[in-house]
Structure 1
Amino acid sequence: MKKTLTLREPDAAAPAIKKKGRGWEISEKRLDALHERAREMKRNPTPAQEALAAALAATDTGGYSFKRKTVIGSAIVDFACKPLMLVIELSGDEDAAFAATRDRSLAEVGYRVERIAADAVLADPDAAAAQVVNVMRERWQERRTRAKPDGAAPRGRAG
C-alpha cells in the first residue's frame, strides 16, 4: 500500500507543539536537519537581515540580545530573544498561509511574533531597530505584569 501526503487546509487549527526533550516531539534526524539549515541561512543572510542585525547591535536593548536564525520547535525564525519569548520575522515573499500557521504555533507556546517588512528595514534600519526596541519594552512589561499580578514595579533589566 502506498502512502500519500495530504495537506491540511490553511484555515485548519495550528498543530499543538509540545516541549519534550531536545526537540518538540521532532525526530533527532529532523532536528539535526533544521539546525544545519539554520546554520546555512545564518551564513548567507539577506541584505535586510544584515541591516537589522547591525542596527540592533548598535542599539541599547536593555541587556537582552537576539540570536539570528534560531530553531524553535520545527520553525527557523529570523531573530529570537528567548528570555522575552519574542520573535522578529522579516516579511517578504514567503507564503502568507504558511507564515500564519507558524506564527499561531509559536504563539501557542508563548512566543510573541512581530513582523517587519524587509523593505522598511532596508529603507531605514535604525527606525526598524527602534520599532524592535519598543516591542521589546512592551513584551517586557507584559511578562512582568503576568509574573507580578499585584502591579508592583518589576526589578531587573529595564527597557
Structure 2
Amino acid sequence: MRRQPTEPEKRLWRALSGSKLGGFKFRRQSVIGALVADFLCPQKALVVEVDGDTHENEADRRRDAALQAKGFTVLHVTNDDVMTNMDGVLQVILTALEQAPDRWERPHPNPSPEGEGLEG
C-alpha cells in the first residue's frame, strides 16, 4: 500500500507530512509489531486509519485491540470524510493529538529505512 496509496491516503498524507498539523510529526505505513498503521504520530502514540469500503468491522476491532494493548490510540476516518471534509478530519486528529500524553520528553528520532530523522 505504501507504493500504491489510495487517493484519500495521499491527500491526508499531504496534510500530515512535514509536521504541518500542529507541529506533530507523522509517519505513513508504519510497522507496529505484525501490523501496519496507515499513519502514526510516534510522540503521541496515535494511529490514524483511513477506512474504505472494504474494511471489516470485526477485523478492525481485533486490530485496534492489539494496538491498544501496545499503548496506541487508534482513530478511524473514512475515505469519504477525507475527500469531502478534510478540515473536519484534521480538527479531529489535532484534538486527539492535543489530548494525548507525550510518550517521551523530547522528540524521538525516526530510525526509518529512509533515514528520516537521522543525523548524518
Q: TM-score, normalised by structure 2?
A: 0.77
Query: What is the CA–CA distance in structure 2 between the aligned matches of 1:52 and 1:138, rounded to whole Å?
Result: 20
Query: What is the CA–CA distance in structure 1 between the aligned matches of 2:41 and 2:66, rounded to whole Å?
Result: 17
Residues 58-86 of structure 1: CA distance to partner in whole angstroms, max 9, x if unpaired? 87434321111111011111001112111
Pairing 1:123–2:72 present: no
Q: Which has the higher helix share?
A: 1
1:53: which partner in 2?
13
1:26: which partner in 2?
none
Q: TM-score, normalised by structure 1?
A: 0.59
Summarize the Cα distance change of 1:59–1:124 in structure 2 as closer, same or farther, 3 Å threshold: farther
Pairing 1:82–2:42 present: yes
Give the aligned CA root-mean-square deviation in angstroms.
2.4
Q: Which residue identity does 1:85 align to in structure 2? A: A
Query: What is the CA–CA distance in structure 2 between the aligned matches of 1:64 and 1:85, rounded to whole Å?
Result: 11
Query: What is the CA–CA distance in structure 2 between the aligned matches of 1:95 and 1:73, rounded to whole Å?
Result: 20
Structure having the higher Rg: 1
Alpha carbons 1:91, 1:118 under 8 Å: kept? yes
Query: What is the CA–CA distance in structure 1 between the aligned matches of 2:65 and 2:41, rounded to whole Å?
Result: 18
SS of 2:2's partner is helix
Residues 33-55 of structure 1: CA distance to partner in whole angstroms, max 9, x if unpaired? xxxxxxxx111110110111112
Summarize the Cα distance change of 1:88–1:65 in structure 2 as closer, same or farther, 3 Å threshold: same
Q: Which runs of 5+ in 1 are unaligned?
A: 1-40, 148-154
The percent of aligned pairs where both chains have the same amino acid is 28
Q: Which moved more, 1:122-131 or 1:64-73?
A: 122-131
Query: What is the CA–CA distance in structure 1 between the aligned matches of 2:19 and 2:83, rounded to whole Å?
Result: 16
Q: Which runs of 4+ in 1 moved over 4 A?
A: none
Query: What is the CA–CA distance in structure 2 between the aligned matches of 1:83 and 1:125, rounded to whole Å?
Result: 23
Q: Which runs of 5+ in 2 are unaligned?
A: 108-120
Q: Which residue identity does 1:65 align to in structure 2? A: K
Alpha carbons 2:8, 2:83 under 8 Å: kept? yes
Query: What is the CA–CA distance in structure 1 between the aligned matches of 2:19 and 2:28, rounded to whole Å?
Result: 16
2:112: which partner in 1?
none
